[in-house]
Structure 1
């Protein structure tokens, strides 16, 4: 019988050792705990957190957010639709249009109501006028010879006086083409703007309206 090699007994253990190393090399690492796993929805969840409103991110973040815009309706001037309602006779329409163009084109950009332009088509004349007067802070009465001859203009004047009888400065008479003696007695308790100047008194009317609007803020 042939004698066995002195190394023949070590072949089997070495084969087992090699198999163990191979298994160790190809063995999968242990899975992380569930709390550390990444899910396909993680990216979408982070994206949704990025677009959350600042109020949901806690007091520290909301404190640095932009301030809430002020509601324009809370301001005194913007509580009504118009700054000025211009009352005039039909024959003075051209002058009234010039006045409105001046007030609206000025840097202050006053909001004017001109009946022929701004009245609702099909609306009743009386109700449209009363609504315009109540929705305007100031009323400019363009008092001319045509104004005094027109019963409708006198009605406008009385309506303007009854809308705000105790509010000083909101009714502004603009006397044009008349002497002081012809000034309507219903308006004798208030000063008027003299329209005989180079600009027809338009600048004084604008300043009077602005002074009244400043009392509303």
Structure 2
């Protein structure tokens, strides 16, 4: 536990090196709508940039996407805080600026752990599970994994397992029906694959919403035509 708080303090100092020395590093301003300060790493724009076009950001913009507070929730143990921080920095880069939940940064001070984690899962479209030996031993990580699987029991791209420092044989049995991402050899490539997986789901979400809207408009046109035909024949 002491190691966790030390990492928490170091993380806060890294994000805000100009903070007053006497300020409490474990507390952050939390507004009613859970507005958060994005985690940025200027080096990531050089090492992790994705080839995108201006229209690519429009393909993921939809009211269905905005119906949830976060695009992706990153589930990890305290041993993988640095990895999770780097991943979130990359996912939040422009132009897509994915909305991420990072427990260290976005949990409400004073909130119950189970409530905060449950809220993060319910309010996220996708869940990245950083699977390590420590993850399998952490009851809160297992809690988030089970919550994510209950929210989306089908393998529809919302649950994204990331295998890190773990052999395939040690994989959780609940996730063996889902294709994962192995980042043991190539962290940067893993970041790219994770982002592509989230973007693909959001694009599909937007596409389905557009199809539903067009179908509804077509039904309205048909109803209007039938009404005119009936009024003309009477």
Q: Is the 8 A contact 1:77 1:213 kept in 2?
A: yes
Name the structure 1 match of 2:179: 191
Aligned match for 2:112, one of 96, 100, 124: 124
Q: Is the 8 A contact 2:130 2:163 kept in 1?
A: yes
Name the structure 2 match of 1:151: 139
| 3-state secondary structure, aligned to 1:107 | coil
User: Larger C-alpha radius of gyration, 1 or 2?
Assistant: 1
TM normalised by structure 1 equals: 0.63
Equivalences for residues 1-217 of structure 1 within 5 A: 75-166=63-154, 168-198=156-186, 199=188, 201-217=190-206
Q: Matched residue pairs, number? A: 145
Q: Distance in 2 between matches of 1:119 and 1:151?
A: 17
| 3-state secondary structure, aligned to 2:157 | coil
In structure 1, the gaps of 5 or more residues are 1-72
1:215 Cα deviation after fit: 1.3
Q: Distance in 1 between matches of 2:173 and 2:139?
A: 15
Residues 179 and 119 of structure 1, relative CA distance in 2, 3 Å threshold:
same
Q: Is the 8 A contact 1:177 1:196 kept in 2?
A: yes
Report the aligned-residue RMSD: 1.6
Deviations 1:95-140 (A, max 9, x none): 1111111101253111000011001111111011111111110000
> Structure 1 segments of 4 or more deviating over 4 A?
none
Residues 154 and 111 of structure 1, relative CA distance in 2, 3 Å threshold:
same
In structure 2, the gaps of 5 or more residues are 1-60, 207-234
| 3-state secondary structure, aligned to 1:113 | strand
